[in-house]
Amino acid sequence: MPPLDEYAVKPQDIKQGVIALKRRQRNLMLLGLTTSTVFIASLISLFFQQELVYGFFGLSTEVQQLHLPVSVDAALASIGDSPDYFFSLLSWIGWLIIKIFSSFIGAFIVMSLMKKLRFFYVRFQSFVLKFVAWLIAFILIWSGLTYWQHDLRNDEDDAYQQVVYYDSNINDSEIARYLSDSEIAAPVKSYLLAQTALLHKPVDFSAARPYVAQVVEAEKKDAKFEQYGFKPEQIWTMQQQVYGKSLTPVAQSVERQAQQADEVSKIVNIVIIGIAILSALLSLVLFLLAHSIKGRSLRIEQRIF
């Protein structure tokens, strides 16, 4: 009969088992943090998915950029570009993805480098302190990337904002002063000033309404209206923002695009909600499993060691 020692579990085997449990718990925590990031990103995307979908169809629910028709002179045309809502939103989303993943991964890299110093190694034995340090690193990296993002667009935005900015009276804006001395057709002036009022923060509806009304009237009576180079999507946006509906044929020609965008937006909204719910459930399950494994490994260590 073999001695009982052959059936006894060796301490070395127990140590390896505890190490394996801790490794499994760490992997589950990382997966939980990843699914939590997906959950947060899904919640954030719910707030701008409509603008993204509308931008894909060349539309926007609000005037966000100044559209300069081809009929304006070269001096005025140099202050801005035609609005491309879709690519503007793609750029914003691209930066958001870069900031989320760079901050998330970068915070772990910073933590691993800090743990090489004994001062931090000792303090990071506490989960709370470790999490606080990770959160601070995440915020610092996010802030740095945000500053870089805005710094890249500073010169362009400053020149653009200077043209359309005014305090309380639209006539004080640089574009209004320029138009008052120019020989540009009256409907074009109204088109540009209506956009300027709608770009104001907060939106200056009292100034926008008469200019949008003048554009509507010009479409009905001005035989040269089609020659001015107005963008139908921008006219649709202006009328939707001021009146809540399309009043003229040019705006109504965009209604089919808007209906398609609205239908796609509803589908995307359902998909995002589904992803958010699934990622939330996965995060909960993963964190519970990680907590269970952590408790199990602690109990083994307390009993054996």
Mean pLDDT along residues 188-202: 91
- Contact of 99 with 139, CB cutoff 8 Å: no
For position 134, what pLDDT does the model report? 81
Q: Looking at per-residue confidence, does 264 or 90 come out higher?
A: 264
Share of the chain above pLDDT 90, in %: 23
Q: Quick: pLDDT tens for 17-70.
A: 777 777 888 888 888 888 888 888 888 888 878 887 888 788 888 888 888 887
- Contact of 293 with 28, CB cutoff 8 Å: yes
- Contact of 279 with 45, CB cutoff 8 Å: no
Whether 193 has a pLDDT exceeding 50, the answer reads: yes
Q: How many CB atoms lie within 10 A of CB 20?
A: 12
For position 271, what pLDDT does the model report? 92
**Lowest-confidence segment of 33-42, 82-91, 166-175, 179-188 by average pLDDT:** 82-91
- Using DSSP's 3-state secondary structure scheme, residue 71 falls into coil
Q: How confident is the model at residue 4 (pLDDT cuts 50, 70, 90)?
A: very low
Mean pLDDT along residues 276-281: 92
